[in-house]
């Protein structure tokens, strides 16, 4: 089994850019796509990035995703931060033995 | 529009079972796989298992193997998640989530509103 490790929390000011990392413990990050979900308090998660760097329709282009094989990690970057971006963010991936694996989640505070 | 509507809050005693339902509408039920994901208070998301809406095939997380059963009723477009031998650590919000499968990838594109299950003596 592999683990996806995220920072517990990040904070940044409105208008700035923040990056949330997601590091895979074993196996290559590039072997299986990474998705990112946003979860606001009291609500179900919603998809913001799929297939490492693709945005579903309706997600602002302020959200972007990438992977870095050298650090075996994926990243979610949110630019032009808005107070409405304040939420928990979860990365998710899989492999042949583990159909769905979620990261521990990162609480984004926009202050 | 796609909707997943789950059953209401449950309070259960340790050692008993809970059955949560998820009624789907707005799409062809048998063409999609439904997953169950839970979230304990203040914790991350935890995958439990899935069921193929068409052929009823299931797969469960090793953590829940033997305690969880996922079934479906195609005539009612409803998926059920049954968790037995409940313990306090099973206190969580339980979500059903539909998978959008394409090429070699998938993601959860629609989620139910969540069902809060509290296990307490």
Share of chain B above pLDDT 70, in %: 100
Q: Is the pLDDT of residue B104 over 80?
A: no
- In this predicted structure, what is the pLDDT of residue A95? 87
pLDDT at B103 over 90: no
CA dist A25 to A8, A30, A32, B60, B95, Å? 16, 13, 13, 22, 26
Q: Is the pLDDT of residue B115 over 80?
A: yes
Residue range A21-77, pLDDT digits in tens: 999 999 999 999 999 999 999 999 999 999 999 999 999 999 999 999 999 999 999
What pLDDT digit, counting tens, does each position of A92-106 carry? 999 888 889 999 999
Within 8 A of A22 by CB-CB distance, chain B residues are: none
B112 touches chain A (CB under 8 A): yes
**Residues of B in Cβ contact (< 8 Å) with A33:** 104-105
A51 CB neighbours in chain B (<8 A) are 105, 107
* CA distances from residue A62 to A16, A19, B70, B112 in whole angstroms, order as listed: 11, 12, 38, 26
Q: Is B105 on the interface with A (CB under 8 A)?
A: yes
Under 8 Å CB pairs connecting chains A and B tally to 46
């Amino acid at each position: 089994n592999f683990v996806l490790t995220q920072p517990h929390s990040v904070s940044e000011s409105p208008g700035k850019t923040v990056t949330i990392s997601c590091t895979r413990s074993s196996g290559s990050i590039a072997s299986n796509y990474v998705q990112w979900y946003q979860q606001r308090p009291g609500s179900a998660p919603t998809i913001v990035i799929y297939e490492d760097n693709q945005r579903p329709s309706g997600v602002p282009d302020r959200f972007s995703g990438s992977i870095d094989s050298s650090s075996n990690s994926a990243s979610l970057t949110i630019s032009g931060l808005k107070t409405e971006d304040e939420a928990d963010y979860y990365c998710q991936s899989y492999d042949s033995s583990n159909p769905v694996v979620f990261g521990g989640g990162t609480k984004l505070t926009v202050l | 529009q796609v909707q997943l509507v789950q059953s209401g809050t449950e309070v259960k005693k340790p050692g008993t079972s809970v059955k949560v339902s998820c009624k789907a509408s707005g799409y062809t039920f048998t063409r999609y796989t439904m997953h169950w994901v839970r979230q304990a208070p203040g914790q991350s998301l935890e995958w439990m298992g899935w069921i193929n809406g068409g052929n009823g095939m299931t797969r469960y997380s090793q953590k829940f193997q033997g305690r969880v059963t996922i079934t479906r009723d195609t005539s009612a477009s409803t998926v059920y998640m049954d968790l037995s031998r409940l313990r306090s650590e099973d206190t969580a919000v339980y979500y059903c989530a539909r998978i959008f499968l394409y090429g070699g990838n998938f993601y959860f594109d629609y989620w139910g509103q969540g069902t809060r299950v509290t296990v307490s003596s």
